């Protein structure tokens, strides 16, 4: 009897909790549809690349997930909670890297990270700040003002800001923009490591071969709709490129 029960229980437990679930989400900006009827489930622990041409709605999709904008239609759920009703505390589980650095240029890298760490209720702010600065390779420059940094270094501080509270879900909008080859490789490794540790990553990226290499699943957005959705194993980059560029 127990033997018959346990597989069901096991499968129930093994059923991965969704990190993100969108149901029939639509968003208009100035009466122009940007996202139309998007339904998407992203399981916890997935590594998703969002691809598409300019204006396909990729950044808007991330902004919806982060709660920066609200959908006109449909529902967005993070970790099983609808964003409409969820407590702001749920944002503690999410990290976001955007187009802009989202830092205070007059403060030092360390002050910036510590400020956001404290805002997110991180304990041991000093230790965590140093640790994340070391991870992005900026420990020695930590006390310099962000405005003295190059674009790539600023981007690395920005990534550190998004990760200092150890989020379960990372949303990254072109995180590789402005990074040199070495930093780019470092960030790839960091993402792979985070994903291996069970973190969910959703990344918007223009570099198709790179996305297919590091992500486990790729979707192509076109005109605000999901054009294709597939695992990245053995996918021909040319095929994906053709989908992105459209007919």
Q: Quick check: helix, strand or coil at residue 88?
A: helix
Burial zone of 31 (CB within 10 Å; 0-12 exposed, 13-18 middle, 19+ buried): exposed
Q: In the beta sheet, which residues pair with residue 73?
A: 26
Q: Give the dihedral sign, CA 51/54/55/59.
A: positive
- We find the least distance from the C-beta atom of residue 143 to other proteins, in angstroms, to be 12
Given 52, 109, 116, 201, the residue binding other proteins (CB under 8 A): 116
Query: Which residues from 127-156 bind other proteins, rule CB under 8 A?
Result: 145-146
Binder of other proteins out of 111, 135, 210, 228 (CB under 8 A): 111
Q: Does 167 bind other proteins (CB under 8 A)?
A: no
Judged by CB under 8 A, does residue 85 bind other proteins? Answer: no
Residues 6+ apart with CB under 8 A from 89: none
Q: Which stretch binds other proteins (CB under 8 A): 12-20, 99-107, 127-135, 208-216?
A: 99-107
User: Three-class SS of residue 146?
Assistant: helix
Using CB under 8 A as the binding criterion, the count of chain residues that bind other proteins stands at 35
Mapping DSSP to helix (H, G, I), strand (E, B) and coil, where does residue 69 land? coil
* Contacts of other proteins in 14-53 (CB under 8 A): 29-32
What count of residues does the chain have? 247
When binding is defined by CB under 8 A, the residue of 71, 98, 142, 175 that contacts other proteins is 98
Q: Return the range that interacts with other proteins (CB under 8 A); candidates 35-43, 98-106, 200-208, 211-219.
A: 98-106
Q: How far apart are CA 81 and CA 95, in angstroms?
A: 17
Judged by DSSP in three states, 127 sits in helix
Q: How far is the CB of 154 from other proteins (least distance, A)?
A: 8
Contact between 198 and other proteins by CB under 8 A: the answer reads: no
The verdict on 100 binding other proteins (CB under 8 A) reads: yes
Asked if residue 89 binds other proteins (CB under 8 A), the reply is yes
- Between CA 65 and CA 77 the distance in angstroms is 8
Task: Kindly give, in sequence order, each residue whose CB lies less than 8 Å from that of residue 235, ignoring residues fewer than 6 positions away.
Answer: 212, 218
Burial 135-158 (b: 16+ CB within 10 A, else e): bbebbebbeeebeebeeebbbbbb
Greatest alpha-carbon pair distance for the chain in Å reads: 68
CB of 159 to other proteins, least distance (A): 13
Among 22, 42, 48, 66, binds other proteins (CB under 8 A): 66
- Count how many Cα atoms sit within 13 Å of the Cα of residue 64 in the half-sphere of its side chain: 31
Q: Is 190 in the site for other proteins (CB under 8 A)?
A: no
- Residue 228 C-beta: closest distance to other proteins, Å: 19
Choice from 60, 161, 184, 226 touching other proteins (CB under 8 A): 161
Residue 124 in the binding site for other proteins (CB under 8 A) = no
Residues of the shown chain interacting with other proteins in the complex, contacts defined by CB under 8 A? 29-32, 66-68, 88-92, 94, 96, 98-107, 111, 115-116, 118-121, 145-146, 161, 246
């Amino acid at each position: 009897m127990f033997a018959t029960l346990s597989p069901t229980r096991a499968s129930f437990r093994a059923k991965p909790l969704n990190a993100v679930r969108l149901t029939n989400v639509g968003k208009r900006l100035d009466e122009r549809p940007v996202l139309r009827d998007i339904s998407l489930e992203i399981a916890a622990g997935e590594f998703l690349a969002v691809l598409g041409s300019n204006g396909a709605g990729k950044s808007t999709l991330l902004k919806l997930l982060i709660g920066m904008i609200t959908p006109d239609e449909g529902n967005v759920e993070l970790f099983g909670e609808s964003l409409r009703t969820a407590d702001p505390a749920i944002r503690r589980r999410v990290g976001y890297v955007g187009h802009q650095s989202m830092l205070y240029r007059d403060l030092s890298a360390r002050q910036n990270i510590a400020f956001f760490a404290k805002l997110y209720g991180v304990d041991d702010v000093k230790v965590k700040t140093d640790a994340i600065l070391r991870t992005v390779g900026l420990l020695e420059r930590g006390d310099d003002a962000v405005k003295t940094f190059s674009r790539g270094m600023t981007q690395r501080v920005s990534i550190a800001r998004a990760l200092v509270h150890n989020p379960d879900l990372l949303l990254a909008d072109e995180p590789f923009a402005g990074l040199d080859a070495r930093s780019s490789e470092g960030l790839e490794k960091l993402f792979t490591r985070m994903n291996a540790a069970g973190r969910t990553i959703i990344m918007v990226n223009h570099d198709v071969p790179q996305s297919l290499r590091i992500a486990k699943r790729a979707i192509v957005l076109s005109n605000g709709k999901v054009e294709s959705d597939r695992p990245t194993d053995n996918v021909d980059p040319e095929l994906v490129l053709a989908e992105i560029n459209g007919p």
